[in-house]
Structure 1
């Protein structure tokens, strides 16, 4: 494929310039209303680091440590896990936009409870409610982004979505650092908690400027609306545009064939080799996103800095702020090169680099601990910990920041996309719950030795990525099924395989949207 073209339906098409196309320009500039869900999540991660470093917050809750601190941090993940039974049905029944609205309304209730939070129980319940709403919104938002943008831009926009976690984290770090100077008042921690509701309020207003997913509209039989959306976003409103017609035919036929020849219940995830392969990726990427060692610093940075003798709250908050800024640049920057390097190569590079950084950090922590026990200050070891902490996050962002959601979304066929993302987010929440509850206990109990556990796990991670993660570079969304299911893939339009044309021919299926005969595919029972 040439650098100035992209492939769809077995053909090459000229690439477009988004800011020169009216509809595409408007949608891409308003798409932030869906994408800031990730920033809301990131704000919370940074917020907890900030609160833990604030004397006023610690005094309000009697200096929580160990299991109590773990419960306070993990409450949001528990809420997200509780939302799992309803999330895919909200996304598939109400729609992607309505799902974001439902999630935001629930989050606002949680923000109110956390901000009031004059007792630990109310703070915990508020974070559970906040997590429940976030669990709904954080699944519907990336679905809307992935299913709406032009095929040429899917990798960039869907990867940027999850990278905005760090934008929220940076804002949270700035707010915490600023309000920490409100001395002798609980408002130093209540203000950051209240500000967590601003993104949800903005989404409630502006999400309606973003069109609904054309794939969801097609699944509900609203074909005219779906084609108008495709035309508006991809072809300046021209419903007769050839690319729009090829897209529309491929999406419509694929969704219809999925309904006829396959189900969309949970058993589908282990019913075929292709779906089992998808499940391995979804489960592993969910755990790897949090169990690569990043969970220690993301939520318990003050404890890590305490281990190397940095105990001043303003210094800790400043390091948190700088780390958030580095993460914003590295995570969003790599999104523009996903289609250049490819997903598999970036995942492997990320995993190997994280292992190298984590081994170096573990050695530095061990040396500092030995020196500290002998009553000697080892500034070199402390500085090495900080340097490799920053390098580790750059390595992590190469693969698991932006592509966590984008890769998980694109490897799934439409009928399983909402449930598949739910499975992935369940693994994320489960690993977060473990991290947030167990990490502070482990750090208190064995200190730097806990880092060895993650060094070993990263070796396992590298093997899984090498063995199971496949390349989806520059492949249209519907056509990725061929990478998993081969000739048995369900795929409508011109890209269908001959083998399944025969199967669908036996069922009398051969009509297209314009009355012409189109090749379609279906999956044979395995």
Structure 2
């Protein structure tokens, strides 16, 4: 059994690559004539032809094709909480792998738009399951000082999935005929197979084991991952003690159903987790990913130049995310969210200003007969639009990208963590679905004003985070529970590393260990009194 947290993370976050594969396999393919001719609804079809002037699916239909995946993800994320609590974190993720392979087979074999939508919806169910439960699984295994780094690796896996599949799809675009899109859609099964097999060699979540009274296995996993084989390591004993206290308290005094999330003491936390995921979509980043070829088409890039320029943002996405993996536990959660939102708002407003000032409406039917490319801009201003788009990606990658996956699993107590994260992730996917469907017709109807819409969202989220999102970095999951019970204002919370690192290294004094466990018991006793009252 593998005990190194970085190897565990490397295998588990392959689930994130599934989402990345889906994003870029669509964004790289929707601009190719092979795809547009096979699924053509324009003046040259159906029936389908090899005419290079095929216009492809109508904007509303293309929005539906793209939105099918996040629509399925919403359903998968909701179901994942129940599955994870009943079966365990590992088996639930493995179920997601099997579903992904089924969906990919249908997508690869698609004969018409309806079959393509069904396959993408099934793929979405898998992505919903994995995107909700992989962060829960990794966060419950990781030590506090590394939790942000390893959970944030899910976002890095997404960026790698996007980049790898984009270049595979780009290479396949030179193939004549339907193999241009069937090959990449078939290859996306490979990471799911690797994830399923890799999970066999990983331990189950110690907190899930404790919740099901499998205490010996829980202790063994903590020893394997945190104790370097020593079952009496100070940090192992401290973690085991805190998990035991929390499990016992929750059984005696708390409900573990979805209803608890709507109770006053939990509703604020639910709102924070849900809006973390909603805002991550309303930044406009996934719109940039899905429909980047439309944006660059408006800026005058065509054919291979468009595809290559689009790929640069995927490279930026991969490498800028590295900063989060290195520094996110030092930066915390609040700072990156606020700074990232303000920077992204700046680039959105800049693009809107450039488009409005230097751009003009496209000819009827759009640039190169693509209705979504309803605006055009040329010269130096078009290069500035491309630069602002790259800067937007560079601002998102080390901030909202990883933190939106790291933050929600840290907010909730063990008894409802999987259910709460399932709801927060479902919020991500329902907004992803809405935006995927909304953006193609939005480009047709409101043109450059789309940038204004997302700029306003980015401004609003910066304000929201400052006043209502507390800092969770540097605290154990049990410490975070106590922080919420105290009701400390969000802007007064800060990163705490010193005590946690001492505990992990076995340098925490006996008095401080007792005090720490005692304060936790006191808080829980107070909560128990409130609950019984």
Q: Same fold (TM over 0.5)?
A: yes
Task: Using the TM superposition, give the Cα deviation of residue 84 of structure 1 relative to its aligned residue in structure 2, in angstroms.
Answer: 4.0
Per-residue CA deviation, residues 59-85 of structure 1 (Å, 9 max, x unaligned), is 110001311000100001111122244
TM-score by length of 1: 0.87
Report 1:180-195 matches (<5 A). Answer: 180-182=173-175, 184-195=176-187
Give, in whole Å, the separation in 2 of the partners of 1:94 and 1:261: 24
Whole-angstrom distance in 1 between the partners of 2:404 and 2:318 = 16
CA 223–310 in structure 1, closer or farther in 2 if over 3 Å, else same:
same
Which of 203, 210, 213 matches 1:211? 203
Q: Deviations 1:438-461 (Å, cap 9, x if unpaired)?
A: 100110112112221112222221
Partner of 2:516: 495
Please state if 1:158 is matched with 2:166.
no
Which piece of structure 1 moves more, 255-264 or 383-392? 255-264
Is the 1:353–1:395 Cα contact (8 Å) retained in structure 2?
yes
Q: Does 1:462 align with 2:462?
A: yes
Using the TM superposition, give the Cα deviation of residue 199 of structure 1 relative to its aligned residue in structure 2, in angstroms. 0.7
8 Å CA contact retained: 2:27, 2:291: yes
How many angstroms apart in 2 are the aligned matches of 1:307 and 1:37?
34
Contact kept? 2:69, 2:123, Cα under 8 Å: yes
**Is the CA contact (8 Å cut-off) linking 1:160 and 1:402 kept in structure 2?**
yes
- Alignment pair present for 1:282 and 2:273: yes
1:340-398 superposed Cα distances (whole Å, 9 cap, x missing partner): 2221111110111111111111112223423978x997311110111010111111123
- How far has the Cα of 1:258 moved from its partner? 1.1
Cα distance in structure 1, aligned partners of 2:171 and 2:446: 33
Q: Match of 1:137, SS?
A: helix
1:487–1:331 distance in 2 versus 1, CA, 3 Å: closer
Measured at CA, do residues 453 and 95 of structure 1 come closer, stay the same or move farther in structure 2, by a change above 3 Å?
Answer: same
Q: Name the CA distance, whole Å, in 1 between partners of 2:376 and 2:162.
A: 35
CA distance in 1, matches of 2:154, 2:529: 32
Closer/same/farther in 2, CA of residues 162 and 377 from structure 1, 3 Å limit: closer
- Counterpart contact for 1:164–1:332, Cα < 8 Å: no
Distance in 1 between residues matched to 2:230 and 2:2, nearest whole Å? 10
In structure 2, how many angstroms separate the alpha carbons of the residues matched to 1:338 and 1:414? 23
Q: Which of the numbers 216, 227, 230 marks the counterpart of 1:235?
A: 227
1:79 paired to 2:72? yes
Q: How far apart are the structure 2 equivalents of 1:462 and 1:197?
A: 38
Shift of 1:401: 0.7
CA distance in 2 between counterparts of 1:186 and 1:503 reads 61
1:481 and 2:459 matched: no
- 2:292 — aligned with what? 301
Aligned to 1:405: 405
Change (3 A) 1:438 1:249: same
Select the residue among 115, 118, 126 that pairs with 1:125.
118
C-alpha change, 1:326 and 1:487, in structure 2 (3 Å) is closer
Q: 1:255 to 1:77 in 2, by over 3 A?
A: same
Whole-Å separation in 2 of the counterparts to 1:441 and 1:311: 21
In structure 2, the residue matched to 1:136 is: 129
Q: Distance in 2 between matches of 1:171 and 1:471?
A: 34
Q: Which one of 336, 339, 351 corresponds to residue 346 of structure 1? A: 336
8 Å CA contact 1:500–1:522 kept in 2: the answer is: no
Within the candidate set 15, 19, 41, 1:37 is matched to 15
Answering whether residue 259 of structure 2 is matched by residue 267 of structure 1, we say yes
Q: Tell me, yes or no, if the aligned pair for 2:2 and 2:201 is still in contact at 8 Å.
A: no
Contact residue 163 and residue 332 of structure 1 kept, 8 A: yes
Q: TM-score, normalised by structure 2?
A: 0.86
Q: CA RMSD in A?
A: 2.3
Question: Unaligned 5+ residue runs, structure 1?
Answer: 1-21, 505-519
Partners of 1:457 and 1:248 lie apart in 2 by: 42
Structure 1 stretches of 4+ moved >4 Å: 496-500, 520-523
Is 1:254–2:246 an aligned residue pair?
Answer: yes
In the aligned structure 1, how far is the partner of 2:122 from the partner of 2:135? 21
Matched-pair contact (CA < 8 Å) for 1:87–1:139: yes
Q: Is the 8 A contact 2:413 2:478 kept in 1?
A: yes
Partners in 2 of 1:503 and 1:152 — Cα distance? 24
Uncovered stretches (5+) of structure 2, i.e. residues with no partner = 41-55, 364-374, 489-512
Q: Check whether the contact 2:283–2:458 (CA below 8 A) recurs between aligned residues.
A: yes
